[in-house]
Amino acid sequence: MSESGNSAAAYPSVEELFQAILEARQRVYEIARPTPLHRLNGSDRIFIKREDLSPIHAYKWRGAYNRMSLLSGKEKAEGVVCVSAGNHAQGVALAAKALKTSAEIFMPRSTPLMKQEAVTRLGGDSVNVRLEGDSYDDASQAAHKYSEKEKRTFIHPYDDLAVIAGQGTLADEVVMAGEGDFDIAYLQIGGGGMAAGVACWLKRYYPSIEIVGVEGKDQASMAAAVAQGGPVKLDYVDVFCDGTAVKQAGSLTSHYCRQFIDRFITVTNAEVCAAIELLWESQRLIPEPAGAMGLAGWLKEKESVQGKQALSIICGSNMDFGQLPYIVRHAGIGSAHRRYYRFRIPEKAGALLHLLETFLESVNIIEFQHGLSNLTEATPVIGIDAMPQQFSVLEKRLEQLGITFEEATATGDEDVEFRIIPYDASLIEYPCFIKIEFPERAGALHDFLLNNCQDASIVYFNYSYTGERVGRALIGFDFQSEELRTSFRDGVFNRETILRDVREITPNALARIV
């Protein structure tokens, strides 16, 4: 079923959209205040519009309330229907409670519990959440059927003039902030409602502004719609940036974006993660992935737009807490500060330690993956954090030392991405697997290995940087005899070492893995 509510012959004009935004300004502030515009930092001319500070921590309340405030008395009495995986549902819930109407809110069954609870909290008795299907499309189909059957007004998440106009009010706040003319704006695009409304207003007040539409690498439905002259359905949509994960752009929104968007760019998930990291470091702000997409676009073009006053919208911060580990892991890749290398070294005692001594002692190791898989060659994967220009120097030094390596950046090699560490337990004779805590500083782990592990072969190594002042690793050793293993245990457990804590894994755990 099409999400569009507008036929090609009935598109409102640009002037009608502008007038609708003017009128929306009289309504949206009945339930919320303007959000601030902040400079990102002192050195760059990039401003961020803080929609994360709105009542629902996203901009969607604007369009939902503006559209629902136009309901007739009869429509309010009958109630409304919407479909959403998060922010639009919260906007409809807030509006339903304020306008004293009811809302049936359809969400996919996969919607995080946090977002379901937020809808109920905002709407109270005015809302009823219905979980339908495993995807947005499934929930959308169910919502439309219910709307038609029950004769209740469907509140579209983006392809509606009043919704677009409501979102456009945030651009009026940008103009009224008095920061002067903006040269370029990076607007993230999902269905296109925010981009259409914001771009319309910005183009009126900053005629020379360049509007850049920013889409996810596997989410570029609007660019496809503009190129094809109308909405097209993508075969696959990545959902990491779930707020912009739309398979098919709106009919009305693509009509406007074709006129307002000067060009489109795409960003990867890793580049979005890098933008989130920047927002945390500069503002102590953690947006949802879609909320940082516009800033990711600016970061991608930062050097080429140097000197231009730029605008980015932080459109939301309703992120499931469980996404944080992925973001932390990929932020360095997106900012070009992190690379993963697979080394090829002889599988013999001391080889791994030799690699650390000859090359890696001076770099910041943020991940270590190694498992004994054959008796001739080892292929440890080591993640390194450095300034982008340092990697060519590091690689040249590796070549000079005759160390064989290949890049295995986590977004490319699935075994690295999912931290699959294969090893052959049948090759291990006298194992000792220990969990250690060590000071998280350069050289600490190297010093421990150098001073305590000369008689051991490292057969398993699992370490990942967590941002704490303490590093944690699981290391498996093998020995040529029981006497050497006993001597190692005595030294590690009974002597003073650099480690904060060391514990051997339980016999039951060891039996399962060796």
Q: Give the pLDDT of residue 360.
A: 61
How large a percentage of the chain has pLDDT more than 90? 74
CB atoms within 10 A of CB 460: 21
pLDDT interval class at 9 (50, 70, 90): low
Asked whether the predicted pLDDT for residue 438 surpasses 70, the reply is yes
Asked whether the predicted pLDDT for residue 221 surpasses 50, the reply is yes
State the pTM of this model: 0.86
Give how far the C-alpha of residue 226 lies from the chain's centroid of Cα atoms, to the nearest Å.
25
pLDDT interval class at 447 (50, 70, 90): confident
pLDDT interval class at 362 (50, 70, 90): low
Residues 83-104 have pLDDT tens digits of 998 899 999 999 999 999 999 9
Mean pLDDT of the 235-251 span = 93
Q: Give the pLDDT of residue 359.
A: 67
Residues 114-125 have pLDDT tens digits of 889 999 999 999
123 and 103 Cβ atoms separated by less than 8 Å: yes
What 3-state DSSP class applies to 73? helix
pLDDT interval class at 14 (50, 70, 90): very high
Asked whether the predicted pLDDT for residue 410 surpasses 70, the reply is no
CB atoms within 10 A of CB 87: 31
Asked whether the predicted pLDDT for residue 58 surpasses 70, the reply is yes
Of 445 and 431, the structure prediction assigns the larger pLDDT to: 431
pLDDT interval class at 75 (50, 70, 90): very high
Q: Give the pLDDT of residue 361.
A: 57
Give which of 157, 27, 30, 88 is closest to 316, Cα–Cα. 88
Mean pLDDT lowest among 35-44, 53-62, 75-84: 35-44
Residues 473-495 have pLDDT tens digits of 999 999 999 999 999 999 899 88
18 and 201 Cβ atoms separated by less than 8 Å: yes
Q: Give the pLDDT of residue 333.
A: 82
pLDDT interval class at 507 (50, 70, 90): very high
Q: Give the pLDDT of residue 496.
A: 87
Alpha helices for 301-402 (secondary structure H): 324-334, 351-358, 390-401
The dihedral formed by the CA atoms of 337, 315, 169 and 60, expressed in degrees to the nearest 10:
170
227 and 256 Cβ atoms separated by less than 8 Å: no
What 3-state DSSP class applies to 82? strand
C-alpha–C-alpha distance, residues 62 and 25, integer Å: 9
Amino acid letter for position 164 = I
C-alpha–C-alpha distance, residues 115 and 99, integer Å: 21
503 and 434 Cβ atoms separated by less than 8 Å: yes
The dihedral formed by the CA atoms of 15, 17, 19 and 24, expressed in degrees to the nearest 10:
-170
Residues 301-344 have pLDDT tens digits of 999 999 999 999 999 999 988 899 899 988 988 888 889 999 99
C-alpha–C-alpha distance, residues 121 and 100, integer Å: 15
Q: What are phi and psi of 3, to 5 degrees?
A: -85, -10
Mean pLDDT lowest among 60-64, 241-245, 361-365: 361-365
Alpha helices for 386-500 (secondary structure H): 390-401, 414-417, 444-452, 482-494
Average pLDDT taken over every residue of the chain: 92
210 and 185 Cβ atoms separated by less than 8 Å: yes
Asked whether the predicted pLDDT for residue 45 surpasses 80, the reply is yes
Sign (positive or negative) of CA dihedral 421, 423, 425, 428:
negative
Tokens (6 digits) for 472? 């944690």
Mean pLDDT of the 61-84 span = 98
Q: Give the pLDDT of residue 334.
A: 82
Q: Give the pLDDT of residue 455.
A: 82
User: Percent helix, strand and coil across the chain, each rounded to 5?
Assistant: 45, 20, 35
Give how far the C-alpha of residue 143 lies from the chain's centroid of Cα atoms, to the nearest Å.
28
Longest dimension (CA), the chain: 87
Mean pLDDT of the 425-449 span = 89
297 and 268 Cβ atoms separated by less than 8 Å: no
Q: Give the pLDDT of residue 6.
A: 47
Asked whether the predicted pLDDT for residue 279 surpasses 70, the reply is yes
- The CA–CA distances, whole Å, from 505 to 40, 431, 435 equal 46, 11, 7
Of 399 and 454, the structure prediction assigns the larger pLDDT to: 399
